[in-house]
Amino acid sequence: QKEVEQDPGPLSVPEGAIVSLNCTYSNSAFQYFMWYRQYSRKGPELLMYTYSSGNKEDGRFTAQVDKSSKYISLFIRDSQPSDSATYLCAIRQTGGSEKLVFGKGMKLTVNP
């Protein structure tokens, strides 16, 4: 079983739609959860990170963590064409290496 699973899509939605992106993980030691956005041929940029169960909101983006189910989500409200990118979840465990374990990434296209 992979440590982090993410549906690679692709996902195509109309402008203004609510987008839901999800990852599951297998290791209970994972305690820190991030979402990165990567535009084509660019490096990933950090969108959000959290270390507890519950929701964290930043503008149109909401990150949700359910540790009991080992499930994390990113919601994008009022999606824009500029949101078209690949979204990667990344997870890190406490007390171990600093390394991030990434999902495969979901390619999102928002159509105007």
Partner 1 sequence: NAGVMQNPRHLVRRRGQEARLRCSPMKGHSHVYWYRQLPEEGLKFMVYLQKENIIDESGMPKERFSAEFPKEGPSILRIQQVVRGDSAAYFCASSPTGRSLHEQFFGPGTRLTVL
CB of 106 to partner 1, least distance (A): 10
Q: In the complex with partner 1, which residue's Cβ is closer, 17 or 22? A: 22
Q: In the complex with partner 1, which residue's Cβ is closer, 4 or 19? A: 4
CB of 49 to partner 1, least distance (A): 6
Alpha carbon distance 45, 87 (integer Å): 10
What is the three-class DSSP state of 22? strand
How would you label 80-108 residue by residue, b for 16+ Cβ within 10 Å and e otherwise? eeebbbbbbbbbbbeeeeeebbbbbbbbb
The contact set with partner 1 (CB under 8 A) reads: 6, 8, 32, 34, 36, 41-46, 49, 51, 88, 90, 92, 97-105
Q: In the complex with partner 1, which residue's Cβ is closer, 34 or 72? A: 34
CB of 42 to partner 1, least distance (A): 6
C-alpha 82: how far from chain center: 17
Q: In the complex with partner 1, which residue's Cβ is closer, 70 or 104? A: 104
CB of 15 to partner 1, least distance (A): 27
Q: What count of other Cβ atoms lies within 10 Å of the Cβ of residue 66?
A: 12
**Residues 36/105, Cβ–Cβ less than 8 Å:** no
